[in-house]
Copies of this chain bind each other. A is one copy, B any other.
Amino acid sequence: MLTANPQAVKNITCIGAGPIGGGWSAHYLARGYNVTTYLHDTAEIDGLHRLLETAWLSLTEMGLAPGASLDNLEWTTSLEDAVADAEFIQESIPEALELKQNLYQKLGDIVDPNVVIASSTSGLSMTDIQSHCRTPQRTLVAHPFNPPYLLPLVEMVGGEKTSRETVAWTERFYKAAGKAPLVMNKEVPGFIATRLQEAIWREALHMVANGEATVEQIDHAVVNGPGPRWALMGPCEIFHVGGGEGGMAYCLNQFGAALKLPWSRLVAPELTPELRDAMVDGCAEMCAGADFSSLSRKLNRGLVEIAQIKSRLANAQRSGADKSL
């Protein structure tokens, strides 16, 4: 049995104090938790404090939870002390399988088996990480996006030995902690968001390697083109809205043929009737109740505001006032 109520958790331990571990510490502190951060070395404390100070400016503007304070942070270089009172553990040590395996072996022995241990790994599989752990059922992947205190995504997936209860409990915990958890059905290398990001990144690298585009052209294209839309809607909903009243079905009829064109080095899958249905039905479910005109109003509204933000940021930078951003 796991710690009974995921909404009643008060004490969180963050293992690791780099950009991700420190970012998690900032997030949990801002949500009113008591945080104990384990440092590999006391020399890391200055970097952690700088990160927390920077993060706290944004978090204050976002709105702190009642009782939230940087004073609710403790830190230690003793792993045993760090986990002694933990009701939830967020692990963010460097991405090396052997390091993680050794850590989970140790944590498996010293941490109360009712406490969930979640790994921020961006690419390793929990089946591998938990392989030497004696209490693997309460371990899982919970991968954030940087900075973890500003982007809500947490991709969650268990390893072969993770219990279903652990995944369900942790999803409830993250919702209570103000995150947007995404539970995957199976372990896929790179999870979902990193795969999509990696596809864009690799296409970009190919273009630079082939002299088709420069770094500056690539970034200019994204921030002035598809980027602002992706802040508001994912690639499926964007095409669903792009299809007008006909939605995704119209869009696939219209642009399905483009999947055969050399518009990316990534070869597209066959647009089978099953895939077509999955896309069309998936959009209908996702947008339940929202018609084209309401979706496109929402998109336009968001795009206007994003354009205004960008114009303010650019003006502030031009006027040399960016220190006050």
> Which residues of A approach B to under 8 Å, CB–CB?
19, 54-55, 57-58, 61-62, 123, 145-147, 150-153, 155, 180, 182, 184-186, 188-209, 211-237, 239, 242, 244, 258-259, 261-272, 274-275, 278-279, 282-283, 285-286, 290, 294, 296-298, 300-310, 313, 317, 322-323, 325
Q: Pick 6 A–B contacts, CB within 8 A, sort by A.
A: A151-B303, A190-B263, A192-B221, A223-B231, A226-B230, A298-B317
Nearest chain B CB to A224 CB, angstrom units: 4
Nearest chain B CB to A219 CB, angstrom units: 3
Given A123-B258, A146-B242, A230-B226, check contact A204 B236 (CB 8 Å).
yes
Q: Is the Cβ of A303 less than 8 Å from the Cβ of B58?
A: yes
Q: Is the Cβ of B215 less than 8 Å from the Cβ of A222?
A: no
Query: Please, how many angstroms separate the alpha-carbon atoms of A194 and B266 in the complex?
Result: 13
Q: Is the Cβ of A216 less than 8 Å from the Cβ of B285?
A: yes
Given A150-B303, A202-B259, A304-B58, check contact A234 B223 (CB 8 Å).
yes
A217 contacts across to B, CB distance below 8 A: 182, 184, 192
A230 contacts across to B, CB distance below 8 A: 222-223, 226-228, 230-231
Query: Please, how many angstroms separate the alpha-carbon atoms of A174 and B254 in the complex?
Result: 29
Nearest chain B CB to A121 CB, angstrom units: 12
A212 contacts across to B, CB distance below 8 A: 184, 186, 188, 192
Q: Is the Cβ of A322 less than 8 Å from the Cβ of B297?
A: yes
Q: Is the Cβ of B325 less than 8 Å from the Cβ of A298?
A: yes
Given A202-B259, A202-B267, A230-B231, check contact A325 B306 (CB 8 Å).
no
Q: Is the Cβ of B235 less than 8 Å from the Cβ of A204?
A: yes
Q: Is the Cβ of A218 less than 8 Å from the Cβ of B236?
A: yes
Q: Is the Cβ of B221 less than 8 Å from the Cβ of A269?
A: no
A198 contacts across to B, CB distance below 8 A: 203, 258, 263-264, 266
